[in-house]
Structure 1
Amino acid sequence: MTKTIRIGTRDSELALWQAHTVQRKLEALGYDTELISVKSTGDLILDKPLYELGITGIFTKTLDVAMINGTVDIAVHSMKDVPTKLPQGIIQAAVLERAASEDIFVFRDGKNADDFNAKTTIATGSLRRKAQWLNRYPYHQVVDLRGNVNTRLQKVADNDWTGAIFAKAGLERINLKPENHIVLDWMIPAPAQGAMVIAAMQNDTYSREACAQLNHADSALATYVEREFLSTLEGGCTAPIGAYAEIKENRIYFKGVLFSLDGSEKMEIEESVPVSECRNFGTLCALKILEGGGRALMEAIKKEL
């Protein structure tokens, strides 16, 4: 059996870049493909912070429905946008080799790191970034920033902020990374940041087998650990959580953090295990955070949101 694999994607420049990347890789393997773009709820509602919308998988839900309805066969996502629990019948078909995981700070023209020494305003739509920023710079003001990458960069230019926080990989993928930026090497990224994932229907053997050939084993394992940590900590609640795992010489090195919403409280863990002992590693790291005071912190976060 052969068929044209219909690739579902959001219609932002970054999402289309990611979908075209998967399309090229599948066609290089000899598969026929077609690109189908849709607009997600997260792209349509830009006047509220994401956490206020109360929708799990706000950037992925529309594509989930399209797959379940049979409109598309697979969907390409920034993995950090994908809920840890996928809808019934949908599976993770492949994780592509991960790009840069770091966050970067993009300065408005005329601004630089000297501005951090005074009271200033920076922008981000992420609870995780906001909490980590306020932990380091409690005297700064953080304002909400929504929209796709292009829209957010324009807002930085149009507003009197010092700048805004972006994922390095997203800007690099579409050649929009400005010269005037710094890498925030102290900021722990979102779980799976920098990774692209392909989702497919569990019963679609043809598409699953095609996508499996694009899977990058180390990236899949590292992001699995990070998302396992996230899933165990969150319990369905949005919270300022960072996680990063990397594999070096057959060991997995992991860093995880949980912050209060205002950044004043920080809980962290840093551990490593041999790859052969990675089963439940992310869960075990999360449980140590929870048992060390994280459970009470998560309850406080739920009451505040």
Structure 2
Amino acid sequence: MKKTIRIGTRDSELAMWQANTVKQALEKLGYQTELVPVKSQGDLVLDKPLYEFGITGIFTKTLDVAMLTNTIDIAVHSMKDVPTALPKGIVEAAVLKRAHTQDILVHKGTDFLNTEGIIATGSLRRKAQWLHKYPNHEVVDLRGNVNTRMQKLEDNEWNGAIFAAAGLERINLKPESYSDLKWMIPAPAQGAMLVVAKEEDEFCRKALSALNHEESEICVHIEREFLRTLEGGCTAPIGALAVIEGDNIHFKGALFSLDGSKKIGTEKTIPVTENEGFGKACAEEVLAAGGAELMKEIKKLINTKG
């Protein structure tokens, strides 16, 4: 165990928290580790919505390059940021036990909900679902890491902003004035952390296999299969959540139009033992119910904006 495992991470507070969690877990198993912070293009360019970059995985690409050029050995990601197809030579090595999956609204009072209001988010999924429920509201773009977004909410006249509960909880930023958005379907793999390694690196893959949480892995793979089959990536308003309850898996997924006016969803329960291909089957049901046409519309609109 003499090799030092170099852990690549973005340098935001949340990303560093995630990387340190993996570092501590590996060191507890007797491995030597070192953190290597890397800035991504997604962190550097804050004045463009993510979909305008024209690629998925804007936050993971820099770390992929660092791994393939042997600057780092493994990389830690928020799994919802990771494209469903990994680069050649890089594989999933561990899905850690999932945290809170829910979105929350951080607000300055909720009197506005039944009238007019301004909500901030950089996510097409959150924007579409918010407008689906509150069509009279305005949704403005909000970019940056969690700390930056919280500060922007403070500095602007917005009524609220939408965050993943897990991110705020991990770095103790969850304020008192928030509401749980139980009706909002989270991003596929929200609340889960993924560690990737090089396919050829047996040492790191073996080390990380001890950190894998099987229940979380099953659920996020169903959600990501749903996303991949719908051809979502970061560029379409798609929500998906799989939860294991006893011997069953309950799944809820939906595709929305960009303006939130249309929703095509599905909800199903199957035995855990039958999870193979479940995400794909759910997505195919959505595509057959009008989702294929809606995806074409979404891509057309995004390409026009780009």
> Does the aligned pair in 2 maintain the 1:237–1:302 contact within 8 Å?
no
What is the alpha-carbon distance in structure 2 between the residues aligned to residue 222 and residue 286 of structure 1? 15
What is the alpha-carbon distance in structure 2 between the residues aligned to residue 56 and residue 67 of structure 1? 18
SS at match of 1:194: coil
Alignment match, 2:11: 11
Shift of 1:52: 1.1
Shift of 1:235: 5.9
1:289 aligns with 2:286: yes
What is the alpha-carbon distance in structure 1 between the residues aligned to residue 253 and residue 280 of structure 2? 11
Q: Deviations over 1:212-261 (max 9, x none)?
A: 00000000000000000000001667100000001111211100010000
Indicate the percent of aligned positions where both proteins have the same amino acid: 66
Alignment match, 2:149: 152
What is the alpha-carbon distance in structure 2 between the residues aligned to residue 55 and residue 242 of structure 1? 19
RMSD across aligned C-alpha pairs, in angstroms?
A: 0.9
1:226 aligns with 2:226: no
1:275-286 matches, cutoff 5 A: 275-286=272-283
Shift of 1:2: 3.5
Q: Deviations over 1:270-292 (max 9, x none)?
A: 00111111110000000000011
Count of residues in correspondence between the two structures = 302
Residue number among 136, 140, 143 corresponding to 2:137 in the alignment: 140
> Does the aligned pair in 1 maintain the 2:241–2:252 contact within 8 Å?
yes
Alignment match, 2:113: 116
1:162-181 matches, cutoff 5 A: 162-181=159-178
Residues 215 and 237 of structure 1, relative CA distance in 2, 3 Å threshold: closer
What is the alpha-carbon distance in structure 2 between the residues aligned to residue 148 and residue 303 of structure 1? 29
1:72-91 matches, cutoff 5 A: 72-91=72-91
Shift of 1:55: 2.0
Alignment match, 1:242: 239
TM-score, normalised with respect to structure 1: 0.98
> Does the aligned pair in 2 maintain the 1:103–1:168 contact within 8 Å?
yes
Residues 237 and 302 of structure 1, relative CA distance in 2, 3 Å threshold: farther
* AA aligned opposite 1:146: R
Residue number among 196, 199, 206 corresponding to 2:193 in the alignment: 196
Alignment match, 1:92: 92
Indicate the larger mover: 22-31 or 226-235. 226-235
1:255-270 matches, cutoff 5 A: 255-270=252-267
1:182 aligns with 2:173: no
* AA aligned opposite 1:218: E
What is the alpha-carbon distance in structure 2 between the residues aligned to residue 211 and residue 189 of structure 1? 26
Deviating beyond 2 angstroms after TM superposition, the runs of 4 or more aligned structure 1 residues are none
TM-score, normalised with respect to structure 2: 0.97
Alignment match, 1:21: 21
SS at match of 1:243: strand
> Does the aligned pair in 2 maintain the 1:89–1:203 contact within 8 Å?
yes
Alignment match, 1:54: 54
What is the alpha-carbon distance in structure 1 between the residues aligned to residue 4 and residue 247 of structure 2? 38
Q: Deviations over 1:41-80 (max 9, x none)?
A: 0000000111111122000000000000000000000000
Residue number among 210, 213, 231 corresponding to 2:210 in the alignment: 213
Alignment match, 1:69: 69
Q: Which structure 1 segments of 5+ residues have no match? A: none
Residue number among 296, 299, 303 corresponding to 2:296 in the alignment: 299
What is the alpha-carbon distance in structure 2 between the residues aligned to residue 14 and residue 55 of structure 1? 23
Q: Deviations over 1:134-173 (max 9, x none)?
A: 0000000000000000000000000000010000000000
Q: Deviations over 1:74-126 (max 9, x none)?
A: 0000000000000000000000000000000001xxx3121111111110000
SS at match of 2:36: strand
What is the alpha-carbon distance in structure 1 between the residues aligned to residue 204 and residue 52 of structure 2? 35
SS at match of 1:287: helix
Q: Which structure 2 segments of 5+ residues have no match? A: none
Residues 229 and 142 of structure 1, relative CA distance in 2, 3 Å threshold: same
